[in-house]
Chains A and B, each alone.
Chain A
Amino acid sequence: MATAKTLYDKIWDSHVIDVQDDGTALIFIDRHIIHEITSAQAFDGLREAKRTVRHPELHILVPDHNVPTANRDKEIENEESRLQIDVLKQNAIAFKLPYIELNDVRQGIVHVIGPEQGFTLPGLTLVCGDSHTATHGALGALAFGIGTSEVEHVLATQTLIQRPSKNMRITVDGALPRGLTPKDLILAIIAKIGTAGGTGCVIEYAGKAIEDMSIEGRMTVCNMTIEAGARAGLVAPDQKTFDYIKGRPMAPKGALWEQAVAFWKTLPSDAGARYDKEVTLAVSAIEPQVSWGTSPQDVLPILANVPNPADIADEAQRRSVERALHYMGLKAGQRLTDIHVNKVFIGSCTNSRIEDMRAAAAVAKGRKVASSVYAMVVPGSGLVKHQAEAEGLDRIFKEAGFDWREPGCSMCIAMNGDMLQPGERSASTSNRNFEGRQGPGGRTHLVSPAMAAAAAIDGHLTDVRKFL
């Protein structure tokens, strides 16, 4: 019998073109998504070297990071943003690459539109010049973020030079308790294994909680895998995956569909496959999670208190906690539920899909945003926005006092003008709470969409379970 392989091994092995003596491999890249921030220099590189794009049909270009989330009918005010978006379009035209316009209903965040369009499929390799490319692993694709030199490399050769990663499996047993979302689960996982817990690995998520989870939820989990230092996240494709993909614009059709599904069914890890690292988590004990510091591992259950540096023995750790508390403007040991917020952001590739909109709307319904809070909802794509409007979610949000915006990355990365002012504090459904991530001096608390909506209503971090 051949040796038992993991899902990752199978995808990796089937994409290797060549291996050097030292183990460095050349692998084929099936799909590539390109946005305006990390691509201009790559296209310049192609031009300088007089190179062409090897497979134009295997790429999609879409603006998302820098796009305004209001007044889309007007010209973009910020000159640098406008230039970046123009350059993206010019490059799409010059190299004859598929391009989604800013005002196209399909426009949205790279990691929302890939799965939505059926561009992301099980068993393929997919890359994008953005670290949260791990999101696409929810469909059983090997998906990871790359830098601009690699964007250029993929354009020119449809390949990448890579070294194999280690296999890590995180098994999540049990069913998610009431009020708990995939976001709480992944925050709890990162708190447990740390921001370097997955370094050098591809993490496969398994267990009942993952099997029971929707594809959208699996995307939230895979999305933040990068915050645990891993290269990519993966979930084995199953019937839910096939149902999600079927009929999407770029998914295979007819006989090809049958052939593809038969192939996808061979992808899950073989029984007895070996993992370099294993972690098991019982989900029943998890409470709604919230980050208190400036690293995504600085996470605690909502009913806990902010850590006290005096309790930490390791000096580097203690100093890092002291620094985080200082930056965040928090007192050692204070209750998390006593932390007031100025802004609430519901959006980003972590939590801007239809399920996230529904979860936040369920909390917002019939309630009002606190007068001290500005709250915004930014759907992940034009199609998510449409769907939400068809379900009447936009009205629920607006009646509650939330601002309902156009799709894009928005305040996740604060490049488009949606941002925190120095000292302002947000409850945010995005993925990074680094210093200055949402604006210089801004303070970010990472939470689930339901927890964000609850914080908007109470005006401070709060336990959403009382609203359910």
Chain B
Amino acid sequence: MQKFTRVDGVAAPMPMINIDTDRIIPARFLKTIKRTGLGKNLFNDIRYTPDGREIADFVLNKGPYRKAEIIVAGRNFGCGSSREHAPWALLDFGIRCVIAEDFADIFYNNSFKNGILLIKLPAAVVAKLMDDAEKGSNARLTVDLEKQEITRPNGETVKFDIDPFRKHCLLNGLDDIGLTLQKDAKIKGYEATASSQTPWLVPPH
């Protein structure tokens, strides 16, 4: 997994609420057996016309936002399906951080596992950052995970909370499976107890 320490980049404003995973990457693009290459279809149906031309109005089709690394979004971003293709598509496009009032559960988990930082902030703070994002290339945000701090274009800083374990994994690019396998003795202990107490569930390992 890619590490996340600090991102200094253009933030794209997406004030819509309930941006679901079907909108982030429509289902017909899930026929891939790879993780990469989905960036060109990120937000496909609101980014292109049915015959494949760019929709000029859509934020990621506008000048500096083509290189956006951050999205500032409306409430409940990432609701809908559990597809990890949504964070893969964001990442493949170059998005490393999404800021919103809240996120859907599964999407939240999936994003961290792919090195994308999701930041939850109160509505009033998101509104300020949304205003910053509207300013395009004149308004870069700096997100510093170590310090848990966002620096606005006017120099003001905003603190954010993050679960210490997620922070640790993201800063070090740690793979969950490796971490879990260090607990093999505990897993074996669990399996032994479970296979005697609920033998219809867990066969002996």
Which residues of A pack against B, CB within 8 Å?
17-18, 20, 22, 24, 26, 28, 30, 37-38, 40-41, 44, 49, 51, 54-55, 57, 65-66, 78, 80-81, 83-84, 87, 121, 123-124, 129-131, 133, 144-150, 152-153, 156-159, 161, 163, 195-196, 199-200, 229, 231, 252, 256-257, 259-260, 263, 295, 316, 320, 323, 413-415, 422, 432, 434-437, 440-441
* Option from A80, A121, A156, A159 in Cβ contact (under 8 Å) with B31: A80
**Chain A CB within 8 A of B18 CB:** yes
**Chain A CB within 8 A of B149 CB:** no
- Return B137 CB to nearest CB of chain A, in Å: 26
- Return A252 CB to nearest CB of chain B, in Å: 4
Within 8 A of A (CB), among B25-61: 26-28, 30-35, 45, 50
**Chain A CB within 8 A of B194 CB:** yes
Q: Are B202 and A28 in contact (CB under 8 A)?
A: yes
For A149, the closest partner residue in chain B by CB is B113
* Category for how many chain B residues contact A: 35 or more
**Chain A CB within 8 A of B148 CB:** no
Q: Are A196 and B109 in contact (CB under 8 A)?
A: no
Q: Are B180 and A252 in contact (CB under 8 A)?
A: no
* Option from B20, B50, B179 in Cβ contact (under 8 Å) with A441: B50
Given contacts A229-B76, A320-B16, A436-B27, 6 further A-B contacts (CB under 8 A): A17-B186, A146-B106, A157-B180, A256-B199, A323-B16, A415-B27
Which residues of B pack against A, CB within 8 Å?
15-18, 20, 22-23, 26-28, 30-35, 45, 50, 74-76, 79-84, 87, 102, 104-106, 109-110, 113-114, 163-165, 175-177, 179-181, 183, 186-187, 189-191, 194, 198-203, 205
Q: Taking A18-B186, A320-B16, A432-B22 as contacts, is the C-beta distance between A130 and B105 under 8 angstroms?
A: no
Q: Are B106 and A131 in contact (CB under 8 A)?
A: yes
Q: Are B177 and A434 in contact (CB under 8 A)?
A: no
For B107, the closest partner residue in chain A by CB is A147
* Option from B17, B34, B82, B175 in Cβ contact (under 8 Å) with A130: B82
* Option from B22, B27, B30, B82 in Cβ contact (under 8 Å) with A146: B82
Q: Are B81 and A131 in contact (CB under 8 A)?
A: yes
In the bound complex, how far is the Cα of B205 from the Cα of A231, in angstroms? 29
* Option from A22, A157, A263, A295 in Cβ contact (under 8 Å) with B187: A157
A-B contact pairs, 8 of them (CB 8 A): A24-B163, A37-B30, A41-B84, A83-B31, A121-B201, A129-B84, A149-B114, A435-B23
Q: Are B203 and A229 in contact (CB under 8 A)?
A: no
Q: Are B26 and A440 in contact (CB under 8 A)?
A: yes
Q: Are B74 and A316 in contact (CB under 8 A)?
A: yes
In the bound complex, how far is the Cα of B169 from the Cα of A273, in angstroms? 35
Sort A-B residue pairs by CB-CB distance and give the 4 closest, nearest first: A80-B31, A147-B110, A252-B200, A145-B82
Q: Are A147 and B84 in contact (CB under 8 A)?
A: yes
Q: Are B84 and A436 in contact (CB under 8 A)?
A: no
In the bound complex, how far is the Cα of B179 from the Cα of A18, in angstroms? 12
Q: Are A84 and B163 in contact (CB under 8 A)?
A: no
Residues of A within 8 A of B181 (CB): 156-157
Residues of A within 8 A of B109 (CB): 146-147, 150
Q: Are A434 and B205 in contact (CB under 8 A)?
A: no
Q: Are B76 and A231 in contact (CB under 8 A)?
A: no
Residues of B within 8 A of A66 (CB): 31
Residues of B within 8 A of A84 (CB): 31, 33
Q: Are A37 and B83 in contact (CB under 8 A)?
A: yes
Residues of B within 8 A of A422 (CB): 50
- Return B21 CB to nearest CB of chain A, in Å: 9
Residues of B within 8 A of A80 (CB): 31-32
Q: Are B203 and A435 in contact (CB under 8 A)?
A: no
Residues of B within 8 A of A199 (CB): 76, 102, 104-105
- Return A298 CB to nearest CB of chain B, in Å: 10
In the bound complex, how far is the Cα of B34 from the Cα of A20, in angstroms? 33
Residues of B within 8 A of A256 (CB): 199-200
- Return A299 CB to nearest CB of chain B, in Å: 14
In the bound complex, how far is the Cα of B54 from the Cα of A7, in angstroms? 51
In the bound complex, how far is the Cα of B165 from the Cα of A153, in angstroms? 17
